[in-house]
Each structure stands twice: as C-alpha cells, then as structure tokens.
Amino acid sequence: MADEAPLLSVRDLTVTFRTGRGPVRAVDSLDFSVRRGQTLGIVGESGSGKSVTSMAVMGLHTGAEVTGSITLAGQELTGLAEGELNRLRGRRMAMIFQDPLSSLHPYYTVGEQIAEHHRVHFGSRRAAARRRAVEMLGEVGIPEPARRAGEYPHQFSGGMRQRVMIAMALACEPDLLIADEPTTALDVTVQAQILELIARLQQDRGLAVVMITHDLGVIARVAQEVLVMYGGRAAEQAPVDALFATPAHPYTRGLLDSLPRLDDADDAPLRAIPGSPPSLLTPAPGCAFAPRCPRAAAAAPAERERCARERPGPTTAGGRLVACHLPLHTPAEARKGTP
C-alpha cells in the first residue's frame, strides 16, 4: 500500500485572490497526496486554507490564481478547460459540502437531483436514472427510498439531507471524495452515523477521501494521515496515531490541548490558543504562528528573532513533516514515539 502511486497528488499548490486591499495568498506552496482507500484529514482553525484547498482541487475557484500541480490518477487538473473539469466533477471526483440545505435545490425532489447527476455523466434514460437515485438513497440508509425520492429537501432532517448529498456525490462512483466539514451542523449521534456511513462506503468502493474539519475528534476516528494547516501553509503532516501521540509543531500541540478531556473537572475552563490567526493580507516574513507560539516566546532572543524573520522550511523523516524552527520533536524523534 505504501508503494502504491497516489490517486490525488498536490504539489506546490498556491491559491491567490486579488482584492481591493491587495493580493491574498490563501494557500501557499502546499504539498500532499492521497492513495485509493486512504483518508487524509486536513485540520486547522478557520482561515487556515482548508476549504480553499479543496475547492482548488475541484476547480471551483472563479477569478483566483491557482498555480502548482494537481493530478488525479496522473491527469493534470491545473489549467484544465472548464468543459473537461465538468466531465471530471461528479464522475471522477465529488465533494460533500458543509450545508446540504444550501447545496440542494429547493424546487426539485431529491430523487430528481440525484437522477439528473447520473444522466449528465452517463446519458442514462429518466427511468434508469431514477432507479439509480432510489438505489443510492437506500445505500446511504434512508428508509423507504422509493417514496422519499419524491420528496423535497425541506422534508428531510439535517442528517438525512447530508445522506442525500452523499448519495448524490457517490451516484456516479467517483474515485475521490472530498468532504468539507460534513458533520459540523449535526448532533453527535447523527455525526457518528454519517462518519460510519462514509467509512463503510469507502471500504466498499476503495474511495480516496479527503476529510476537511476543525474537529480533531473526527480526524482521530476516520483518518490514517493528518495534514495540519496554518496561515495557508502546511505546519505538520503525520500518520494519525503518531500525530496524536507525539505532535511536533507547537500549533498542533495547541490544537490537541484545546480538546476537552474526560479527566477534566466539571468546572475546568476550556483551553484555547492565545491570539488570533494571521492576516493573509499582510503575511509575516517568518513563521506565521510565531506571534502565538509559546516556544518562540520562551526562546532565546536569537531564536525568537529567527522565528519572526525566517520562514521555516519543512523537515521530513520517516513519513513525517514539520515546518518549525523550534519543534517539540524532530520528525525522526516523533516517529520513534519520543514522549
């Protein structure tokens, strides 16, 4: 599995938006890859570039400058004509968005919307496309799928609407599924059901999945590899167990420390990372996390100055990456499980 060529490969991805106040580099020189059957979790605070990355992969940024390489099964997507992207979207790669109600058309039944998706890509007749829609609704666990295919999005609960979105995304059997905060608006019980559904469908179909979320609990449950983003850049990347056991980047440590613990007292305050995410309009010349970093604050003046002035390059070892001048562990140490 480790030697298998990646299905999705992203190299030196940079996404820049032109604004009235100047350019905003929302994603900066990002690298990652995903194999068939693998789930890559992308985590970080709001504004870290997670969703911008997923939209770039899907070719959904209008007016943005996208550079670098994005390949799907060896096919270059960067710079591909819109018509070619339309043929790939839904058929080879699909996306589940955070708010299914805003993604589903209120004037059409859910069955019609799934069926249209299938007809566009396969040219199937209406009756065959409807049968496929009913089949998919049943596969994602919606009871009485033939009846409910004739209902409208507002007649479904939030969890059921998300199941409809999954059915629509997988109706054409894509190779890559991108899930952008798919459980944020759901209660914990429905969230668990949706995650189990995605995991089951992935196992059955050999999907490559990119799971984008701010919730490290979700990542621990579903991902094999984790990419931590901050300020549009990769801060750390590692296998999920290694990252939770020995985080190397101070930002990763801060994210993990912010999780509630079972042994916390009932009145224990929630822990948070001090400060605010960086402005991408005026990016710092050095490490984007330096103004909030406890290790930089406690470092010797020369080290603190280096963090503020010099952008840390990625250091890799044993399948781990960290971009930090003052890591908690080097990638090699973290790989060995240094406490």
Q: Are residues 201 and 139 in the same domain?
A: no
Q: What's the rounded Cα separation, in Å, for the pair 109 and 313? A: 50
Cβ contact 329:250 at 8 Å: no
Q: Are residues 51 and 84 in the same domain?
A: yes
In a domain, 60, yes or no: yes
Q: Are residues 32 and 51 in the same domain?
A: yes
Q: Are residues 252 and 319 in the same domain?
A: yes
Q: What is the pLDDT along the chain (339 residues), one digit of tens a residue?
A: 445 789 999 999 999 999 888 999 999 999 999 999 999 999 999 889 999 999 999 998 888 999 999 999 999 999 898 889 988 998 899 998 877 778 889 999 999 999 988 888 888 899 999 999 999 899 888 999 999 999 999 999 888 898 898 888 888 889 999 999 887 767 788 888 888 888 888 888 889 999 998 888 889 989 999 999 999 999 999 999 999 999 999 999 999 988 877 666 666 777 888 888 898 888 889 999 999 999 999 999 999 999 999 999 888 877 799 999 999 876 666 555 444
In a domain, 16, yes or no: yes
| Cβ atoms within 10 Å of 302's Cβ, excluding its own | 7
Q: Are residues 124 and 146 in the same domain?
A: yes
Q: Are residues 182 and 325 in the same domain?
A: no
Which secondary-structure segment (H or E) carries 36? none
Domain extent for 274: 233-262+269-335
Q: Are residues 192 and 86 in the same domain?
A: yes
Q: Are residues 137 and 29 in the same domain?
A: no
Q: Are residues 67 and 41 in the same domain?
A: yes
In a domain, 39, yes or no: yes
What is the Cα Rg of the chain in Å?
A: 21
Extended strands (E) in the chain: 8-19, 22-34, 39-43, 65-72, 75-76, 93-96, 176-180, 208-212, 225-230, 233-239, 315-317, 320-322
Q: Are residues 192 and 55 in the same domain?
A: yes
Number of domains in the chain: 3
Which secondary-structure segment (H or E) carries 98? none
Domain boundary among 194, 223, 252: 223
Q: Are residues 149 and 197 in the same domain?
A: no
In a domain, 9, yes or no: yes
In a domain, 187, yes or no: yes
Residue type, 211: M
Q: Are residues 152 and 53 in the same domain?
A: no
In a domain, 98, yes or no: no
In a domain, 228, yes or no: no
**Helix ranges (DSSP H) in 140-187:** 145-148, 158-170
In a domain, 275, yes or no: yes
Look up the CATH number of the domain holding residue 2: 3.40.50.300
